[in-house]
Amino acid sequence: MRLFFALGLDEKTNQAAREQLVRYHHHLCGEGRAVPDQNLHLTLAFLGEVPDTKLSALQAAASNLALPAFSLTTSGVEVWDQPKIACVTFNQPPPVLFDLAHHLQSLPVWHAKADSHAFTPHITLRRGVKDQQALHLPPLPTQTFACQRFGLYASPSSASDESIPRDNEGRALYQCLHQFSLC
């Protein structure tokens, strides 16, 4: 299974902030492919292909992390060149977010795929944005998200797999396998 840890930002207290983010997301048009609403998340650690036999040890290791809950305030939307995405970024993300990502990237049971980029918290909205001038980016209203839990998600390895859950446009959806509470 191709796995990653992420903040789903879908706690009940985030409902208004999430709805506003989704509305903004629907207004973006032009360049690139929109991420399905249900897949909006902040990746903490991308693990790559992990054998099923490692799953329970991975969950146990992540459950043992005792890190405090925190909040995240959006700063705006940026277009990056590497990877070519449009994404939400955050204003002064707290050190505990970086601690959480670091711990999840280096769990003894499975180390995350080495990434050439430093961890930069973001929520990808559109992929394949090759020409940023072709994407109309209205200002993003500032939103604060409470982060009280994170999840372990499965991402489909093959786009043609018929057993993958999909949205009504046929786009593959991530599956949350387990959620973990912050303190």
Catalytic residues: 41, 122
Q: Which residue lies nearer to ligand 2AM by CB, 51 or 183?
A: 51
Q: How far is the CB of 112 from ligand 2AM (least distance, A)?
A: 8
**Cα-to-chain-centroid distance, residue 15:** 17
Mention every residue, 6+ apart, whose C-beta is less than 8 A from residue 54: 109, 110
Cα 85 to Cα 46, 124, 125, 132, distances in angstroms? 17, 7, 7, 9
Q: How far is the CB of 46 from ligand 2AM (least distance, A)?
A: 3
In the list 24, 28, 43, 150, the residue contacting ligand 2AM (rule: CB under 6 A) is 43
Count other Cβ atoms within 10 Å, centred on residue 137. Answer: 16
Is 24 a residue that touches ligand 2AM (CB under 6 A)?
A: no
Instruction: Write down the H helix ranges in 46-149.
Output: 55-63, 95-105
* Cα–Cα distance, 27 to 13 (Å, whole number): 23
Is 105 a residue that touches ligand 2AM (CB under 6 A)?
A: no
Structure letter (DSSP) for residue 161:
-
Is 113 a residue that touches ligand 2AM (CB under 6 A)?
A: yes
Q: Which residue lies nearer to ligand 2AM by CB, 46 or 98?
A: 46
Q: Which residue lies nearer to ligand 2AM by CB, 4 or 145?
A: 4
Is 136 a residue that touches ligand 2AM (CB under 6 A)?
A: no
- Please give the size of the binding site for ligand 2AM, defined by CB under 6 A: 7
Residues 150/180, Cβ–Cβ less than 8 Å: yes
In the list 14, 74, 105, 124, the residue contacting ligand 2AM (rule: CB under 6 A) is 124
Q: Which residue lies nearer to ligand 2AM by CB, 12 or 120?
A: 120
Count other Cβ atoms within 10 Å, centred on residue 165. Answer: 11
User: What residues line the site for ligand 2AM (CB under 6 A)?
Assistant: 4, 43, 46, 113, 115, 124, 155
